[in-house]
C-alpha cells in the first residue's frame, strides 16, 4: 500500500490522491487502507519515515549502525564523506516525496507541521555531527557549530539532491563526491583538507 501511495502522490499530488485510489492501486479494499493507516496524512507521514531510513523498522537514523559509524570516525573528512553518502541515498529515496509534502503543506496545516518536524529532525541529526566536529577542533577558524549545522542542513538536503540529480541529471556517484567535497571545504580547517580531492 505504501508503494502504491508513493506512486500516486508523486504522479498526481497529495490533494488529488484519494484513499480509494490508493486502495485500487494497492489491490486492497479501501476499508483495509483506513484500518491500517486511518488517514491519508498518516500514509504520507509513514511513507516518508520509511523512506528516510530505508526500511520499516522504527530505529531512528541516529541510532542506526551507519550513523554511529560516522560519529565514531576519527577523520573529519571521512565523517563528511559518510554523511554525503547517507544524504545521497536518502535523497534518492525521499526527494520526490519532499516535493509532495512541501506542496501539500501550503494548504494543509497538519501536513505543514509534519513537514517542519521532518526538517527539524534532519537539523538535529546534523547538529550532532557539527558539535562533534567542533569538539574535535576540526571546524575552520571562526565557524561555530551552529553555523556548521546550518551549512550541512542546507547542502545535505533532499532538495539539493533533487535539483542536481533530478533536474540537472547528475549521476548519483558524482553528486555524492561533490557533496562530500563542498561540505569539507565549507566546514573543515585547512589542515584537514590537505588530501581532499574532488
* pLDDT tens figures, 165-176: 999 999 999 999
Of the candidates 135, 130, 131, 136, which has an alpha carbon nearest to the alpha carbon of residue 186?
A: 130
Quick check: is 24 in a domain? no
pLDDT of residue 44: 93
pLDDT of residue 60: 80
pLDDT of residue 157: 94
pTM assigned to the model: 0.86
Q: Following DSSP, what letter does each residue of 127-155 receive, concatenated?
A: HHHHHHHHHTT-BPTT--HHHHHHHHHHH
In the predicted structure, residue 194 carries a pLDDT above the cut 80: no
Quick check: is 132 in a domain? yes
At CB < 8 A and 24+ separation, what contacts does 59-68 make? 61/125, 62/125, 62/128, 67/125
In the predicted structure, residue 115 carries a pLDDT above the cut 60: yes
pLDDT of residue 198: 46
Distance in angstroms (rounded) separating the CA atoms of residues 35 and 160: 36
Quick check: is 48 in a domain? no
Quick check: is 14 in a domain? no
Q: Which residues contact 187 (CB under 8 A, 6 or more apart)?
A: 76, 80, 130, 133, 138, 139, 140, 143, 148, 151, 152
pLDDT of residue 191: 63
Percent of the chain past pLDDT 90, that is, above it, reads 78
Quick check: is 80 in a domain? yes
Quick check: is 186 in a domain? yes
- Label residue 105 exposed, middle or buried (CB < 10 Å: 0-12, 13-18, 19+): middle
Quick check: is 33 in a domain? no
Report the number of distinct structural domains present in the chain.
Answer: 1
pLDDT of residue 196: 47
Percent of the chain past pLDDT 70, that is, above it, reads 96
- Over the stretch 10-60, which tens digit does the pLDDT of each residue have? 999 999 999 999 999 999 999 999 999 999 999 999 999 899 888 888 788
Quick check: is 119 in a domain? yes
Residue 123 structural domain? 60-193
Amino acid at each position: 500500500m505504501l508503494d502504491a501511495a508513493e506512486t500516486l502522490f508523486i504522479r498526481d499530488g497529495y490533494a488529488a490522491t484519494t484513499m480509494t485510489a490508493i486502495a485500487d492501486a494497492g489491490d486492497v479494499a479501501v476499508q483495509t487502507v483506513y484500518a491500517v493507516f486511518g488517514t491519508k496524512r498518516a500514509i504520507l507521514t509513514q511513507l516518508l519515515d520509511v523512506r528516510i531510513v530505508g526500511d520499516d523498522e522504527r530505529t531512528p537514523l541516529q541510532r542506526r549502525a551507519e550513523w554511529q559509524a560516522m560519529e565514531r570516525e576519527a577523520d573529519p573528512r571521512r565523517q563528511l564523506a559518510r554523511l554525503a553518502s547517507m544524504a545521497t541515498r536518502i535523497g534518492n529515496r525521499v526527494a520526490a516525496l519532499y516535493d509532495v509534502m512541501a506542496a501539500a503543506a501550503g494548504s494543509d496545516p497538519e501536513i505543514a507541521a509534519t513537514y517542519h518536524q521532518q526538517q527539524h529532525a534532519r537539523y538535529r541529526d546534523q547538529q550532532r555531527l557539527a558539535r562533534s566536529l567542533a569538539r574535535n577542533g576540526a571546524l575552520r577558524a571562526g565557524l561555530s557549530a551552529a553555523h556548521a549545522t546550518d551549512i550541512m542542513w542546507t547542502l545535505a538536503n533532499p532538495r539539493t539532491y533533487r535539483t542536481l540529480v533530478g533536474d540537472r541529471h547528475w549521476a548519483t556517484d558524482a553528486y555524492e563526491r561533490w557533496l562530500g567535497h563542498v561540505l569539507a571545504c565549507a566546514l573543515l580547517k585547512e589542515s584537514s583538507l590537505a588530501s581532499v580531492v574532488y
